[in-house]
Amino acid sequence: MSEGRRILVIDDDAFMRSMLVEQLPALEGYVCVGAATGEEGIEKASQAYFDLILLDVGLPDINGFEVCTRLRKKGLMAPIVMLTAADDDVDTIKGLDSGATDYVTKPFKLGVLLARLRAHIRQFEMSDDAMIHIGPFDFQPGQRTLTEEEGARTIRLTDKEAQILKYLYLQGGDVVSRESLLGEVWGYNASVTTHTLETHVYRLRQKIERDPANARILLTDQGGYRLAN
């Protein structure tokens, strides 16, 4: 589930920044962008969507606490994981109070950091504030919209269509039975049948598939549905 997730690394330590920008894609398939100052980081975070931000506290222009506060005031909802060389409870509290999601002390084990990043991204993707990448689309569950790459077109979904897509996405490509999908999206309502689900899937495919008769994104498989990897 890491493939293609975008991470912004804001750190003035050139070695640390380049190591993370190189290793995170190699180990997890993330797309990483680096920034050497707080102002540069704020600018890049304002220009593009990121699934998570790694933010060093000791920056040369403005400290990480101020960067975090300003990003949150701009409406950024993605997880922010702060990095610091100071193992100090006061700084940890200050970082969390400024809007950070987590606080990691240097030096850290890369495997532990990766596990934390995966956990925060996974948790964020369960919220309606995330932007999820499905096929050629950026999917915003909270807005119930799919935007094609480079903004070619925006597709508006119904509430049920958005719930179907989001639940299938969170299963990581695994097949979900019709009964499980019905229970998740509609609840266990005796008046709702699998025909209702099939109708919604049919309409959803009309919106997202180039050739709905030969689906490439929302697939029928083993008596249920799944999203293509």
Cα separation, 85 vs 170, in Å, equals: 35
Among residues 210, 135, 226, the alpha carbon closest in space to that of 173 is found at 226
Amino acid in the structure at residue 119: A
- Is 178 within 8 Å of 225 (Cβ atoms)? yes
Looking at residue 2, its pLDDT comes to 56
Q: 3-state class of 18 per DSSP?
A: helix
CB 34 within 8 A of CB 63: no
Q: What is the mean pLDDT of residues 18-43?
A: 95
Sign (positive or negative) of CA dihedral 166, 172, 177, 180: negative
> Which structural domain, as residue segments, surrounds residue 184?
135-227
Segment 64-93, tens digit of pLDDT: 999 999 999 999 999 999 998 876 777 777
Q: Is there a contact between 80 and 101 (Cβ–Cβ < 8 Å)? A: yes
Residue 130 lies in a domain: no
- On the question of pLDDT at 27 being above 70, the answer is yes
pLDDT at residue 92 in the model: 74
Point out the domain boundary residue: 125, 149, 171.
Answer: 125
Q: Which of 90, 125, 160 is the last residue of a domain?
A: 125
pLDDT greater than 80 at residue 4: no
User: 222 falls in which pLDDT band (50, 70, 90)?
Assistant: confident
pLDDT digits (tens, 9 = 90+) for 180-203: 999 999 987 667 888 999 999 999
pLDDT at 26 over 90: yes
What DSSP state is assigned to residue 149?
G
Q: What confidence tier does 35 reach under pLDDT thresholds 50, 70, 90?
A: very high
Which residue in this structure is represented by tokens 């008769």?
Answer: 213
CATH number of the CATH domain containing 144: 1.10.10.10
Q: Kindly state the percentage of the chain with pLDDT values over 90.
A: 70
Q: What is the pLDDT of residue 154?
A: 92
Paired sense of beta strands 137-140 and 132-134, if any? antiparallel
Q: What is the pLDDT of residue 105?
A: 87
Instruction: With CA atoms as reference, report the closest residue to 222 among 179, 183, 161.
Output: 179
Q: Does residue 140 sit within a domain?
A: yes
Classify the C-alpha dihedral 46-72-147-51 as positive or negative. Answer: positive
Please report which residue ranges of 48-193 form alpha helices under DSSP H. 64-73, 89-97, 110-125, 159-170, 178-186
Are 101 and 79 a contacting pair, CB within 8 Å? yes
- The average pLDDT across 11-18 equals 95
**What does the pLDDT read at residue 1?**
46
CA dihedral 28, 102, 8, 114 (to 10 degrees): -10
Q: Check whether residue 144 and residue 167 sit in a common domain.
A: yes
Q: CA 194, CA 156: separation in Å to the nearest integer?
A: 23
* Cα–Cα distance, 138 to 155 (Å, whole number): 10
**CATH number of the domain bearing residue 64:** 3.40.50.2300
- Is residue 151 scored above 70 in pLDDT? no
Numbers of helices and strands, H then E, in the chain: 8, 12
Q: What SS3 class is residue 19?
A: helix
The mean per-residue pLDDT over the stretch 13-31 comes to 94
| Average pLDDT along the chain | 90
* 1 belongs to a structural domain: no
**Rounded mean pLDDT, 191-218:** 93
- More confident site: 189 or 125: 125
Residue whose structure tokens are 């049920």: 160
Examine the domain organization and report whether 207 and 140 are in the same domain: yes
